[in-house]
Structure 1
Amino acid sequence: MTTEVHGSTTPEVTVVVPHYGAPGPTLDVCAQLLAQRDVDLEVVVADDASPEPIVVPDGVRLVRRDVNGGFAANVNSGLAEARGALCLVLNSDMQLRDRAVADLVEAARPHQPCLAAPAITTVDGRWEESRHRWPSPLRTAVSLSRPVPHLTRIPRVRRWLLESRAVATEGPTPCDWVSGAAFMVPTPVIRSIGGLDEHFFMYGEDVDLQRRLRAAGVPSLLFRSVEMAHVGGGSTDPLRADGWSLQARWVYAERHGYARRLRAMLWGTALVNVLWNVAARAGGRKVSVRRELRHDVLRARGRTY
């Protein structure tokens, strides 16, 4: 299962690429990683029991799980095999410049130990929101209310709802948490806190990880000078994604002590949404008030629909 990468048994960076599903994107990012310049790295693909087992190229190590466990469990499987001093967790749908990993290592070196993240862009170069505040029960509840699409037209409200903050163009920008699509942390540090929490199946595990790292004195820093592009466009069923997202919100709330407040605020959101939907229906829009109320009630009870 183990293959030497770039002729080194102790690489500077281990890149863990969590994989599930179609092999194309993962193989593309592996090719980009093997072509990285000026950095000694190994690539570990963690296959989360995909229906179609992936065959990785020479120079890439493969860890295949017997049971699908979700993103956090899959990353931890790859992390267990990491030999590098630093661990870079990288989504399979990323595009990298030929020095992206080396640039991130160099930018973060004076600030270690830290969780270092690049600026995430779209493939056409547009900046994605990458720097966020810690989640709160109020912000979560408001984000699930029906008036949100109208409120987000106001820039100040949009920034508050997205929990985003300005990013420095030079040097590191301290963050509460950054996108989990690409982040690097010293391998002994992430292992010392137990890796990602496997109670999160999908979503939220990156926020929780960074909160635990912060409690251990390890900050999250975003480096605007290093860019990686996020292709996105996955084929995950929206209902399954909504269910995972809801589960993640509740796991996070329980882990960080505000589950009761979140439940109360979600009941308030249900009331706001009923009034909004009744008004919308009275105005001639096609809205199923009963169905939407059922969704909100299930969500307030911590259940999916």
Structure 2
Amino acid sequence: MPLTRLGAIVPVHGDLEPVLPLLDALAGPGVPEAERPARVLLVDDASPRPVPGDSLPAGVELVRRERNGGFGAAVNTGLRALRDGEGGSAIDTALVLNSDLTIPAGLAAAITEHAAPWMPAVVGCRAEDAEGRSGYAARRFPTTGHQVVEWLVPLASQRHRDVLHRAVGHDLEAERGHGMVPVDWVSGAVLLLPIAEVLAVGGFDEGYFMYTEEVDLQLRLRRAGIPSLLDADLTVVHAGGGSSGGEARRRRWLVGARMRYARRHGHVHLLRAGLTAASMANLAWNSGRRFAGRDVHPLDTAREELALVHRAGKDLPR
């Protein structure tokens, strides 16, 4: 049976060419009708060079945004288009896919079938990089402790250990599970979303430009009784970082997003204090490494970290 109640959303900010293999995997001529979403939307989030509509594969619709609002804003635009568009009343579920994914054949049909007994719910799946390393798609809701541990440079070499994975919030039970596994939240690389329920809680918070918006949404949905699950039997390849424009910008967006999340759902002053203390520990560690002859710059690194901790989020694009 065709996926008549499913729409797919692929947000894009940049060139179309790298996204074409994903669009072909969703709706290309080789995809059986029974495995195609009823609608596939490419949401052009005000790309520097607008995506040319005549270059899209047949069956892929183009939705343009006038302003670059980030991942959450682009997905919200797609969700409303699926809800309000022609025949939109039949589309009640959206499959949101990052533009830098490689997906297995039949992903849309498989994740929809696996999720059906749990709906309405948020469902994600495993993600790996090109070398087969896990992206730990299932995680615990963030705490100050998770983020302080992640900030500590002395622990970086030990992050392959289970105790450190758990200390930064990775859900190892889900990671090693099978079937549909209830979790706190799943990565935004792949999200199966119930459209009405997501829009009922306000959709994605567009104050997050990039990062953490999917955590915020899933926490609000959880409070409304909508669970999150990992489909541990499906895996995608996620390149990651394709839209962040460099490590410095990525870290600024990430820390700013975490501060916003802490203001909304936690204790932002506690988070700032914890990361400040971790930066002082990093300064001591890096000073020892420099004394031992390593090519590090402890004071410069500490200044960069503290600037992120105390200024992040204040100059992000909106």
Q: TM-score, normalised by structure 2?
A: 0.87
Say which SS state the counterpart of residue 118 (structure 1) adopts: strand
| 1:81 alignment partner, SS class | helix
- Which one is further off, 212-221 or 168-177? 168-177
Matched AA of 1:188: A
Quote how far apart the aligned CAs of 1:126 are: 4.8
Partner of residue 60, structure 2: 60
Matches within 5 A, 1:147-226: 147-167=154-174, 169-226=177-234
Query: Is residue 6–residue 93 contact of structure 2 (8 Å, CA) maintained in 1?
Result: yes
Question: For residues 19 and 133 of structure 2, what CA distance do their matches in structure 1 show?
Answer: 23
Conserved? CA contact 2:72–2:209, under 8 Å: yes
Counterpart of 1:43 in structure 2 is 40
Q: Which residue is 1:22 aligned to?
A: 15
SS at 2:173's partner residue?
coil
1:89 Cα shift? 0.7
Are 1:47 and 1:63, in contact at CA under 8 Å, matched by a contact in 2?
A: yes
Between the two proteins, the alignment pairs up a number of residues equal to 298
Output aligned runs, 1:237-276, within 5 Å.
237-276=246-285
Q: In proportion to residue count, which structure has more helix?
A: 2
Partner of 1:98: 105
Give the 3 Å change call, closer, same or farther, for CA 127–274 of structure 1 in structure 2.
closer
Gapped regions of structure 2 (runs ≥ 5): 83-87
CA 1:262 to 1:233, structure 2 compared with 1: closer, same or farther past 3 Å? closer
Q: Distance in 2 between matches of 1:42 and 1:139?
A: 39
How far residue 120 of structure 1 moved from its aligned partner, in angstroms, is 1.9
Please tell me whether residue 33 in structure 1 is matched to residue 42 in structure 2.
no
% same residue? 35
Structure 1 residues 209 and 85: CA distance shift in structure 2, 3 A: same
In the aligned structure 1, how far is the partner of 2:157 from the partner of 2:211? Answer: 25
Answer with 150-159 or 23-32: which moved more.
Answer: 150-159
| 1:76-95 matched pairs, under 5 angstroms | 76-82=76-82, 83=88, 84-95=91-102
- 1:204 Cα deviation after fit: 0.6
Distance in structure 2 (CA, Å) of the matches to 1:119 and 1:142: 24
CA 23–274 in structure 1, closer or farther in 2 if over 3 Å, else same: same
Judge conservation of contact 1:281–1:287 (CA < 8 Å) in 2. yes
Tell me by how many angstroms 1:153 deviates: 4.3
The answer to whether the 8 Å contact 1:14/1:44 transfers is yes
Which residue does the alignment assign to 2:152? 145
Q: Distance in 2 between matches of 1:101 and 1:125?
A: 21
CA offsets, 1:58-77, max 9 Å, x none? 31111111111111111111
Give the aligned residue type for 2:199: R
The equivalent residue for 1:119 is: 126
Gaps of 5+ in 1: 1-5
The one-letter code matched in structure 1 to 2:304 is H
For the 8 Å contact 1:134–1:163, the answer to whether it is kept is: no
Verify: 1:131 aligned to 2:141, yes or no.
no
Q: 1:59 to 1:154 in 2, by over 3 A?
A: closer
Q: Cα deviation per residue 1:236-271 (whole Å; 9 max; x = unaligned)?
A: 211111111111111111110310110111121122
Q: TM-score, normalised by structure 1?
A: 0.90
Contact 2:145–2:167 under 8 Å retained in 1: no
Q: Distance in 1 between matches of 2:159 and 2:133?
A: 19
| SS across alignment from 2:153 | coil
Q: CA deviation at 1:139?
A: 1.5
CA RMSD of aligned residues (A): 2.2
Question: In the alignment, what sits opposite 2:85?
Answer: none
1:200: how far off?
0.3
Q: Secondary structure at the match of 1:199?
A: coil
Moved more, 116-125 or 43-52: 116-125
